[in-house]
Amino acid sequence: MARRYKELWDTLKIKKKVTIRCRPEKMPTIIQALMKEKSMENAPRKALDLPSFGRLEYKANKEDGTVTFKLVSEVLAETL
């Protein structure tokens, strides 16, 4: 399975906030894919009782064609 949004997820883990530009009709796909990336990384961490990433917030602005993702209340990123 190709992980097309892994690079975006990795950038978000480091920067905590990322804004991307895309067409409005692609926004739901990108949001869902990034949530899946987070879940795919958190699932094994929870199984091993390791800290997981916090809440993923997003704000889609169809007029500007931007989506802003923010990773909040995370324990793991503070320890990296």
Q: Is the pLDDT of residue 20 over 90?
A: yes
Q: What is the mean pLDDT of residues 28-48?
A: 90
Contact 9, 41 (CB under 8 A): yes
Q: Greater confidence, 70 or 1?
A: 70
User: Angle at which helices 27-47 and 6-15 pack, to 10 degrees?
Assistant: 70
Residue 46 resides in a domain: yes
Single-letter code of the amino acid located at 37: E
Q: What is the mean pLDDT of residues 36-57?
A: 85
pLDDT of residue 49: 83
Residue 58 resides in a domain: yes
pLDDT tens column, 61-74: 999 999 999 998 65
pLDDT of residue 43: 84
Residue 19 resides in a domain: yes
pLDDT of residue 41: 86
Residue 1 resides in a domain: no
Q: Which residues contact 26 (CB under 8 A, 6 or more apart)?
A: none
* Domain tally, the chain: 1
pTM: 0.80
Question: Which residue range is the domain that position 33 belongs to?
Answer: 6-79
